[in-house]
Structure 1
Amino acid sequence: MGSIWEIDFYSRPILDEKQKKVWEVLVCESPSDIRTKPESLFRYAKYCPSTEVNSVWLRTALQEAIDKAGEAPIKIRFFRRQMSNMITKACQDVGLPAQPSRRILVLNQWLKQRMEEVYPQEPGYQGGTNPSVRLDSPLPQRLPDALEGQQWAFVSLQAAEFAEMPDWEIGFGEAFPLELANVTPETRIPGVLIFSPRALPIAGWLSGLELACLNFDTKQGERLVLETGATESWILANIRSPQTLAEAKGYEKAKKAANGVHFIGVQSDPQAESFTGFWLLQDFNLA
């Protein structure tokens, strides 16, 4: 399987000599494995004059990134909806599929680091707000009936236990090195396990959704909401019993203590020793 890239193309808090905003493209590799060394992930950055902001310039920059990396990724993730047309067109022109996604862990951290350390050192830097990654709160949809799990449970694992994840039997899934999230080996990582005889189609469907995070939501009732893609969300389960409500609150508390890190697992039944699907996630709003 080839690599997946994350991309951002947007203005930065820097003015050029004509007092126009300087734009920048950032390209970085998504980690897909718990063993990935963050320092080994590919990165590419290039400033763009405001007069050249178009899909042609971006296509050229993407080709430069591909040449620098030595190979093209299998797809590109982007989170800014307002740049969707330009990014999608540039990616198509270099033969790459582009997918809206909030699973941009490395890009999120890189943007924050550049906002704090890089842009303030540039001539023409303008302080103030220049938002990087902001996650929307879309209205959640109901899961398709055929994909609802028959049973689910709140669980947790110590961060150190994820060192053995490469040895787990997992069908669909994706992970990232926990050092990216700055959690200690002793940190408890909360999660939800979904059990169903239809574990395979559920895991297969989830694998195509660009999973972002799983939240305990209280805006309209009390429920577990799975956020996916750039704006989509799904009601995974409604919380009804006092005991489950307490567990859901504990899940959110543990997620916050773990810098937003959590997971979703799909199994055929509670006795299964393998995972049909397993995804390690991070909620940026809590990181």
Structure 2
Amino acid sequence: MIASKRSDLKKTDWEIDFYSRPIIDENGKKRWELLITSTNNFKDKKTFKWEKICPASSVNSIWLKDAFDEAIDEAYSQGWDKPSVIRCWRSSMKTMIKRAADQIGIELISSRRTYSLLEWLIERERSFYPQQKGYTGVNLAPPSNPITNQAIPLPEEVRGESWSFASLSLNTLREADEWEIEFSNLIPIKDSINENISIPGIRLFSPKRSLALAAWLGGLEPAKLLIEGTQIILEAGQADRWLVTDVEEEAKKVIENNFQNTKLYADGLQFISVQKSPEENSLDGFWMLKDIEEY
């Protein structure tokens, strides 16, 4: 692995998946594959992607560590720095990936905020793997297993004194990188989305604890919002499900309809924000989320 000293290298986190694919190799074994993609910048469309097939007999942290070294060298040659963080959503591979990442000084975060990776994997499952020799037609490695954990109330540190449902125009959201926000995580907006679509989300308010609440919320790795019954649920981390609030039946119908519309017509975009009050213009926290069907 080459030690980076250049100051012009692009810095970003990585998203990875190391798992078997719906392909049987010439030895009758499932094909294992490592996929790495950089976390897309809000407006910079340049992405680092890297893939490597792993022999079924070499699925271990030693092979994975060596593959990470190769990927870092390749990234460096393309103008990308070594990441300080990698995200992985597949719980069954967490231990092996962490062991390999620890050896090269990279922090592993278990998170479903791996939107770039999941979209790439979905694309490969639809158009790449079916063209490969040995393709089984059986999805040996689905993008995820349904999350069935019961939702529990948000930690006290992340509960606002009040909340409201909100929506932002796409044009407004495109300017999010120009806002003054203490804690945030923005994701790219595709050019193909209809500009007339409004993006739904929720706002959490806390006059005295807004900044601390935002810091805690960021640590939860928020992934997407959904409606279950008359409850708003926040899915976060690798498998966490947090109860944000209960809503009245009429409000539930409106929110559910908004979430469904953006899922169909706006790439599943959502948001969650933290601020001191509804009248306050500045934000202490703002996260763009995405509801991907295959989650």
Q: What TM-score does the superposition give when structure 2 sets the normalisation length? A: 0.89
Q: Report if aligned partners of 2:197, 2:262 keep a CA contact under 8 Å in 1.
A: no
Per-residue CA distance 1:54-102 (angstroms, 9 max, x = gap): 1100111111111111221121101111111111111111111111111
Query: Equivalent residue for 2:6?
Result: none
Separation in structure 2 between the aligned mates of residue 124 and residue 55 of structure 1, nearest angstrom? 26
Q: Given the superposition, is the C-alpha separation of residues 110 and 242 from structure 1 closer, same or farther in structure 2, using an over 3 Å criterion?
A: closer
Separation in structure 2 between the aligned mates of residue 246 and residue 8 of structure 1, nearest angstrom? 36
1:107 matched to 2:107: no
Q: Give the C-alpha shift of residue 243 in structure 1.
A: 4.5
Which of 249, 262, 269 is equivalent to 1:255? 262
SS in 1 for 2:292: coil
Query: Equivalent residue for 1:270?
Result: 278
**AA at the equivalent of 1:154:** F
Separation in structure 1 between the aligned mates of residue 282 and residue 41 of structure 2, nearest angstrom? 19
1:161 matched to 2:172: yes
Alignment of 1:18-37 (within 5 A): 18-33=27-42, 35-37=43-45
Q: Report if aligned partners of 2:19, 2:141 keep a CA contact under 8 Å in 1.
A: no
Q: Report if aligned partners of 1:188, 1:254 keep a CA contact under 8 Å in 2.
A: no
**AA at the equivalent of 2:93:** M
Segments of structure 1 that go 5 or more residues without pairing to the other structure are none
Which of 37, 62, 68 is equivalent to 2:74? 68
Which of 125, 129, 144 is equivalent to 2:135? 125
Q: Report if aligned partners of 1:170, 1:276 keep a CA contact under 8 Å in 2.
A: yes
Q: Given the superposition, is the C-alpha separation of residues 243 and 125 from structure 1 closer, same or farther in structure 2, using an over 3 Å criterion?
A: closer
Q: Given the superposition, is the C-alpha separation of residues 56 and 145 from structure 1 closer, same or farther in structure 2, using an over 3 Å criterion?
A: same
Separation in structure 2 between the aligned mates of residue 286 and residue 118 of structure 1, nearest angstrom? 17
Separation in structure 2 between the aligned mates of residue 277 and residue 111 of structure 1, nearest angstrom? 30
Q: Report if aligned partners of 1:191, 1:251 keep a CA contact under 8 Å in 2.
A: no
Q: Given the superposition, is the C-alpha separation of residues 128 and 266 from structure 1 closer, same or farther in structure 2, using an over 3 Å criterion?
A: same
Separation in structure 1 between the aligned mates of residue 27 and residue 224 of structure 2, nearest angstrom? 41
Q: Give the C-alpha shift of residue 286 in structure 1.
A: 7.7
Separation in structure 2 between the aligned mates of residue 145 and residue 31 of structure 1, nearest angstrom? 32
SS in 2 for 1:285: coil
Q: Given the superposition, is the C-alpha separation of residues 245 and 123 from structure 1 closer, same or farther in structure 2, using an over 3 Å criterion?
A: closer
SS in 2 for 1:273: coil
Q: Given the superposition, is the C-alpha separation of residues 286 and 49 from structure 1 closer, same or farther in structure 2, using an over 3 Å criterion?
A: closer
Separation in structure 2 between the aligned mates of residue 5 and residue 56 of structure 1, nearest angstrom? 19
Separation in structure 1 between the aligned mates of residue 163 and residue 277 of structure 2, nearest angstrom? 10
Q: Give the C-alpha shift of residue 214 in structure 1.
A: 1.3
Q: Report if aligned partners of 2:177, 2:186 keep a CA contact under 8 Å in 1.
A: no
Separation in structure 1 between the aligned mates of residue 32 and residue 179 of structure 2, nearest angstrom? 43
Q: What TM-score does the superposition give when structure 1 sets the normalisation length? A: 0.91
Q: Give the C-alpha shift of residue 32 in structure 1.
A: 4.2
1:211 matched to 2:217: no
Query: Equivalent residue for 1:244?
Result: 251
